[in-house]
Amino acid sequence: MRDKTREIDILYFFNYLKSKIAVIALTVFVCAGLIGAYDYKRQKGVRDESAKDRLKAAMEQNHDAFYFGSKKFTDAEQPAGIYNSTARLYVDFDYDDIEGFENAKISFLEINSKYETDATTILKDSKNLDEIITELDLRSYDDMKDITADDLQWLVNKNFTGAHVLNIVVSDVNPERAKLICDAVADKTMSSLKTYDFVDKVEKVSSATLPENTGFTLLKSSVKDINKKQLLKFAIVGGALGFILIIAFLFLMFAFTDKIYSETDIASAGMKFAVGPRRKKFDSGRVARSIALFEGVSKILLVSIDGNTNAPKDAEDINKELKSLGSKIKVIGAADFESDNEALDKVKECDSVIYMVRYGKSEIGKLVDAEEELSRSTKTLGVLVR
């Protein structure tokens, strides 16, 4: 079996790499993208887990503050990485039914307190909170993908300032999302309170505030907290790794392939160029001039060793050029020596043969096979690389 290892010619190898520039660029791009995407996903995973932990801590803090009084609410003691957005409603209660309690030992403040309790209970109505989750698509955020109305209620704090101003405070790790939720809670609360008899009037005093951004932004479509410099470094490393891998792979392909890429490959088959080195664009005129220089030949068989070239068409073009040069040499084309007997029939009519190969596609072994068989009937002039 023929050894496919070739003698490495650096110049030809670089020419080979030039022919593969698209493959090299694609590999570098893909590797840079994959490694960059890996780092982005890693950073995002850390970010989202951190966000989930902070949200859970805020919910637990408000829960414990409500039931046990062991902690302060998040609107009173803002934990690290938590933002508070505040909206205010003016609620005017209808005290007409107080007349029924003229003889009751209950103060105005106590009645007002009960009304306030009713109002704040309505504020956290699970139906309203479920609608907010759906309308704002909160579950589309990675850190809120499992949120329920029961969870959301512990991110909403409320208290009255004086007798009429209801403060609604939403705590969140995302300042802009906190504002969206706070506005939604305020609007739902206004609509609900208006349906109750004990409320005479309700108005929005101020819309939700946008908390100051201190660097923990976690918007669904934002990557402000992703370390872009680190992301770029990973992408560069990925690109460099891809470049090294593809060059190494192409080197092995070049070193161990049986494909024809250089004059050395032609020489390894025991032959030489018939009409000079391969050119980027086939020039039938130049080929004809080279053929016209051969002495002692009158009819040449131009044979494609594997069907990767169109020898009959090229032979036709070369003959036209030879005729214009006044040469009496005639070229006959034969297609695909590997799978057609045409060359074996035509070679008997010719006194010499030129083998056509395709750069980077035709194999040295097939060139050797064709030459061994056809050289029995005629002499070999060399190889024409297309």
Q: How would DSSP label each residue in 312-342?
A: HHHHHHHHHHHHHHT---EEEEE--TTT-SH
Alpha carbons within 13 A on the beta-carbon side of 289:
4
Q: Is the pLDDT of residue 331 over 80?
A: yes
Q: What is the mean pLDDT of residues 214-241?
A: 65
Residues 20 and 112 in one domain: no
Residues 35 and 111 in one domain: no
Residues 99 and 184 in one domain: yes
Give domain status of residue 352, yes or no: yes
Structural domain span for residue 180: 56-206
Q: Is the pLDDT of residue 180 over 90?
A: yes
Q: Which of 346, 345, 337 is nearest to 371 (CA)?
A: 337
* Alpha-helix residue ranges (DSSP H) falling in the chain: 10-19, 21-67, 108-123, 126-135, 149-153, 175-193, 228-256, 263-268, 284-292, 311-325, 342-346, 364-374
Q: Is the pLDDT of residue 32 over 80?
A: yes
Please tell me which residue, 187 or 265, carries the higher pLDDT value: 187
Total domain count for the chain? 3
What's the confidence (pLDDT) of residue 2? 47
Residues 295 and 242 in one domain: no
Residues 85 and 101 in one domain: yes
What's the confidence (pLDDT) of residue 360? 77
Q: pLDDT digits over 294-313, tens only?
A: 888 889 888 888 888 888 88
Residues 273 and 326 in one domain: yes
Give domain status of residue 217, yes or no: no
Q: What is the mean pLDDT of residues 359-377?
A: 81
Give domain status of residue 48, yes or no: no
pTM: 0.46
Please tell me which residue, 180 or 219, carries the higher pLDDT value: 180
Q: Is the pLDDT of residue 111 over 80?
A: no
Q: What is the 3-state secondary structure (H, E, C) of 20-34?
A: CHHHHHHHHHHHHHH
The three-class DSSP label of residue 66 is: helix
What's the confidence (pLDDT) of residue 64? 86
What's the confidence (pLDDT) of residue 216? 39
Give domain status of residue 167, yes or no: yes
Least trusted range by pLDDT, from 32-46, 206-220, 271-285, 355-369 = 206-220
Whole-number average pLDDT of the chain: 79
Residues 237 and 269 in one domain: no
Residues 172 and 122 in one domain: yes
Note whether 165 and 205 are within 8 A (CB): yes
Residues 144 and 252 in one domain: no
Instruction: CATH number of the domain at 306, please.
Output: 3.40.50
Give domain status of residue 298, yes or no: yes
Residues 277 and 381 in one domain: yes
Residues 173 and 96 in one domain: yes
Residues 14 and 62 in one domain: no
Give domain status of residue 50, yes or no: no
